[in-house]
Amino acid sequence: MQKKLLSGLFWVLLANLLVKPLWILGVEVGVQNAVGNEAYGFYHALFSFTYIFNILLDLGLTNYNTRNIAQHPQLITKHLSGILGIKLCLLGLYVMVTFTVGLAMGYGSAEFRLLALLTLCQFLNSLILYLRSNFEGLLLFRWDSLFSVLDRLLMIVICGCLLWSPMRERFNIYWFVYAQLMAYGITAVLALCVIARKAGLRRVRFDRRFFAVVLKQSAPFALLVLLMASYNRIDPILLRSLVGDADAGVYAGAFRLLDALTMVAYLVSVPLLPVYARLCKGEGVKGSEKGVKGSERTNDEITGITRLVFAPMMLFAVGTAVALCAVAEPTMGLLYHERGSMYVPVFRVIIFGIIPISLTYIFGTLLTAGGYLRQLNLFAASSLALNVVVNLLLIPRLGATGSAWASLTAQTFMAAAQVALAVRLYGLPARSFLPLGLSDTKRLVKSLITNNNSQ
């Protein structure tokens, strides 16, 4: 199982580390510099608004499907045809709720014009993530790696042609959204064609009984995604409401590099979820609350995989946070030129979020695979409440910097709670959290290279 994990990590990290830094640090920074803080803050706040309600497009189906297909791959055809029907029905619910809440918040024609485009972007992105969950569940990590970057690759080409040409002077935020629509659409169609062929899909099925059964099973996943999306994305919404678009734009600019770097932890979690899920299948891992879980062999394998990913991730996260905090001023100046100094105080706080976020992607994935959704939802709800309270206390006095402190506080609480629960439930020994030695690092690299050369 460790070989499967190493193979998945290799392809997912290779594809994304080649493409996504160029997207985030090249295209997104270029767009913000071209349109200005207010226009980008306006876009980022509405994007965060649609992202929070994105759960209505998924209702936990993606994480549920990854875990379910990893444990029962023979169900791929039945579930693909049925869940695609559910996704189409959920689009109507998502649009209705998003626009209703927008009206309640006093949005005008300018907001709704952009909101309509962003809701369609969110649907296509959600569809891509669901289709990728089938590749992940079947452990087809090479296909998953391709479709994890294809949309960004297309957007780099489209936006690059617009930003680095005479058309740059006329570039506006709507062009950026149109580029996303085109890229998401092409990627979704191609991913659907590939997985439909592999699964033998012939038609989309609308079965009310199937809908009810699947949505009931995915509901805890849906609540978890909603709560985590809320405490991760509510900051710019509160900033825009309390102090305006400019501060929301500063927060977005400082947050961007953190968003790019935490992509590494997210990418590690992509193959980690189906691998953990297969280990937890039928082993009685989800047992009593007294810490004796599953067979000794299963817990040993879980410990080995956790140790395999934990030490490199923590070395990366802690080292990156400390280093970038030390060079915050030249880093922000490099990205945002003469305006860079306004981002520095926010960046020096928010960059440390990479440490708890990385822990969450490791231990939260393990708890998700084991089915401990009730505990995870309780942690996420507490984190959301903590985030909102700290934001309301600090934003009026510190603006975007206060929001950065609120985010870091909530992330730290969530990570600490998950680590404590995972250690208690799975009996993870302390040595699992020690840094890899030189010999272990050499063995890891050698195994990774050998495993992928043999494929």
Q: In sequence order, what are the residues at sequence separation of 6 or more whose Cβ sits closer than 8 angstroms to the Cβ of residue 367?
A: 375, 376, 418, 421, 422, 425
**Measured distance CA(64)–CA(256) in Å, rounded:** 29
Upper half-sphere CA count for residue 174 (Cβ side, 13 Å): 9
What local confidence, expressed as pLDDT, does residue 413 receive?
94
Q: State CA 376 to chain mean position distance.
A: 16
**Measured distance CA(139)–CA(142) in Å, rounded:** 9
Confidence band for 119, pLDDT divided at 50, 70 and 90: very high
What local confidence, expressed as pLDDT, does residue 276 receive?
83
Comparison of pLDDT for 119 and 217, the residue scoring more: 119
Torsion 241-347-413-299 (CA) sign? positive
Of 277-281, 283-287, 298-302, 312-316, the range with the lowest mean pLDDT is: 283-287
Q: Are 229 and 51 in contact (CB under 8 A)?
A: yes
What local confidence, expressed as pLDDT, does residue 225 receive?
75
Torsion 398-404-406-412 (CA) sign? negative
Tokens 């809320």 -> residue: 230
Confidence band for 1, pLDDT divided at 50, 70 and 90: low
Mean pLDDT value across residues 278-292: 49
Question: Does 171 score more than 60 pLDDT?
Answer: yes
What local confidence, expressed as pLDDT, does residue 429 receive?
64
CB environment 52-66: b (16+ within 10 A), e (fewer): bbbbbbbbbbbbbbb
**Measured distance CA(364)–CA(370) in Å, rounded:** 10
**Measured distance CA(421)–CA(429) in Å, rounded:** 13
Mean pLDDT value across residues 87-115: 88
Q: Per the confidence metrics, is the pTM higher than 0.75?
A: no
Encoding tokens for residue 169?
A: 């002077």
pLDDT digit string, tens, across residues 226-254: 788 777 778 888 888 888 778 888 888 88
**Measured distance CA(166)–CA(395) in Å, rounded:** 39
pLDDT digit string, tens, across residues 342-352: 888 999 999 99
What local confidence, expressed as pLDDT, does residue 84 receive?
85
Among 13-17, 207-211, 279-283, the range of highest mean pLDDT? 207-211
Secondary structure string (H, E, C) spanning the chain:
CHHHHHHHHHHHHHHHHHHHHHHHHHHHHHHHHHHCHHHHHHHHHHHHHHHHCCHHHHCCHHHHHHHHHHHCHHHHHHHHHHHHHHHHHHHHHHHHHHHHHHHHCCCCHHHHHHHHHHHHHHHHHHHHHHHHHHHHHCCCHHHHHHHHHHHHHHHHHHHHHHHCCHHHHHCCHHHHHHHHHHHHHHHHHHHHHHHHHHHCCCCCCCCHHHHHHHHHHHHHHHHHHHHHHHHHHHHHHHHHHHCCHHHHHHHHHHHHHHHHHHHHHHHHHHHHHHHHHHHHCCCCCCCCCCCCCCCHHHHHHHHHHHHHHHHHHHHHHHHHHHHHHHCHHHHHHHHHHHHHHHHHHHHHHHHHHHHHHHHHHHHHHHHHHHCCHHHHHHHHHHHHHHHHHHHHHHHHHHCHHHHHHHHHHHHHHHHHHHHHHHHHHHCCCHHHHCCCCHHHHHHHHHHHHHHHHCC
What local confidence, expressed as pLDDT, does residue 13 receive?
67
